[in-house]
Amino acid sequence: MKPHRGTLVLVLGILGLIICQPVGIAAWVMGNADLKQIAAGTMDPEGKSLTQIGKILGIIATVLLALGLVFFVLAMVLGIGAAVVAPQG
């Protein structure tokens, strides 16, 4: 049986939420894979709760990253549009 990586997934989820949001994607993906292995009985189930929390934090970080990108693109489009429409002179 493989040892769990719950602590690693949790740390990646926290880092994704606080410092570097793209790391949250790794927490989400690793959390999914580890939870599948725990359910299949090939990974130590002791880290299940840590893995679940890390996965949830990874999801939150990823959603915040996506929202940030949408707002950035919107601001760029509106800013460029305002610059083009603004009267010269």
Interval 1-55: pLDDT, tens: 999 999 999 999 999 999 999 999 999 999 999 999 999 999 999 999 999 999 9
* pLDDT tens digit sequence for 49-64: 999 999 999 999 999 9
User: Which pLDDT band holds residue 89 (cuts at 50, 70, 90)?
Assistant: low
Sign of CA dihedral 56, 25, 39, 51: negative
Q: Which residues of 29-47 are buried (b: 16+ CB within 10 A; e: fewer)?
A: ebbeebbebbeeeebbeeb
Q: For residue 53, with 0-12 CB atoms within 10 Å meaning exposed, 13-18 middle and 19 or more buried, which class applies? A: middle
